[in-house]
Amino acid sequence: MQTSICTDVRSLEYFPVQLFAIIMGLSGFAIVFAKAYHILDFSYWFYAFILFIDTLLFLVIFTSYMLKIAIHPKAVKQEINHPIKSSFMASISVSFLLISIAYYDFAPTLSIILWFIAAPLQLFFTLLVIKYWIHNDLEVVHSNPAWFIPIVGNVLVPVVGVEAAPIYVSLFFFSLGMFFWIVLFTIMMNRIIFHNPLAKKLIPTFFIFIAPPAVGFISYLKITDGSIDMFSIFLYSIALFTLLLLLFMLRMYDVKMFFISWWAYTFPLAAITIATLLMHNIYHSTFTYLASLSLIAFLTIVVGYVALRTIQAFKAQKICISEE
């Protein structure tokens, strides 16, 4: 059964953990322009402006959710024990990791402090979510691309982790993320091909498929000090093909009714854009240059449109969340 809930997020009891997807998208957007500043000589002020907005929203959303934990613990427990929402709990630690990465250019000391909060938190949520999967009677139809969120978070850890901690810490998280990416990808393909399709409002989460190989490529370059080899090309190629496949299926996306799941478009697009910028930084070819510019333009349009629809939803005092 496919259902949807529209709620007034001003009520802390109904404040959804899925709102951290906004921070994931905006942080990725800020990191794109930080890389574009270094690699393509883009203006620094746009990166700083996005980072400022991102930080304000992070503080608002994080504070609101902490108040929800304190005042409405039963509502939080329901999210933790939900087959879809449980994976979004890891969006809290992923948001910390992305804020940490976004601040690395602007304030490296703050970035590393945030990393030391984010990395243990990420491990905790990974353990929590996998424990939930093991101890509950889940069905194949409960699986969805949002399950990748706690996995992608592990692959993000090395981006700042190589500067903040011994290399084996980054290798631990990278290995964990890459292993479970393969496991979950197999489960998802089985569900998508042989079982009931996803609810239309969850279709945007298909873009999350881009994130594990794209972020894996970025992290692998950090771990190997920027060296390109067959494995790094493999990761980038899978991410690029996934993007092309999703664009090839554009007609399946429903843009009539806004759902918070639309933010699932943003962070994965940011990840493949950053990966492409790094490819250009290595090869300096016309193709990688044009691909970088095209992806930056596309990402900017998508983030701008999704942000506009989010503002309209907040003004209407309703944020719609899709469920199955």
Confidence of residue 9 (pLDDT cuts 50, 70, 90): low
Q: Is the pLDDT of residue 147 over 60?
A: yes
Q: How many CB atoms lie within 10 A of CB 315?
A: 8
Task: Answer whether 152's CB lies under 8 Å from 93's CB.
Answer: no
Range from 118-127, 199-208, 252-261 carrying the lowest mean pLDDT: 252-261
* Section 214-236 average pLDDT: 95
Confidence at 317, pLDDT banded by 50, 70, 90:
low
Q: Please check the confidence at residue 178 and state whether its pLDDT lies above 90.
A: yes
Q: For the segment 40-67, what is each residue's pLDDT rounded down to a tens digit?
A: 999 999 999 999 999 999 999 999 999 9
User: Please, what is the average pLDDT of the chain?
Assistant: 90
b/e code 63-100 from CB counts within 10 Å (16+ = b)? eebeebeeebeebbeebeebbbbbbbbbbbbbbbbbbb
Render pLDDT for 160-172 as a digit per residue (tens, 0 to 9).
999 999 999 999 9
| Whether the predicted pLDDT of 5 surpasses 70 | no
Task: Work out the pLDDT band at 12, boundaries 50, 70, 90.
Answer: confident
pLDDT bin (cut points 50, 70, 90) of residue 7 is: low
pLDDT value at residue 320:
60
Q: Which residues on neighbouring strands pair with residue 321, listed in sequence order? A: 5
Give the β-pairing of 319-323 and 3-7: antiparallel
DSSP 18-43: GGHHHHHHHHHHHHHHHHHHHHS---
Please indicate whether residue 285 or residue 252 has the higher confidence score (pLDDT).
285
Residue where the block lists tokens 């692959």:
155
Rounded mean pLDDT, 28-39: 96
Confidence band of 128 (pLDDT split at 50, 70, 90): very high
End-to-end CA distance of the chain: 6
Place of tokens 């509502």: 75
More confident residue, 5 or 228: 228
The pLDDT score that the predictor gives to residue 83 is: 80
Cα separation, 56 vs 27, in Å, equals 12
pTM flag (> 0.85): yes
Least confident of 27-31, 124-128, 213-217, 246-250: 246-250
Q: Is the pLDDT of residue 201 over 80?
A: no
Q: For residues 183-199, give the mean pLDDT.
A: 86
The answer, yes or no, to whether residue 255 has pLDDT greater than 80, is no
Q: Which residue has the tokens 């270094």?
A: 38
* Residue % of the chain over a pLDDT of 70: 94
| Rounded mean pLDDT, 260-286 | 94
The per-residue pLDDT for 1 is 41
pLDDT at position 319, please?
Answer: 65
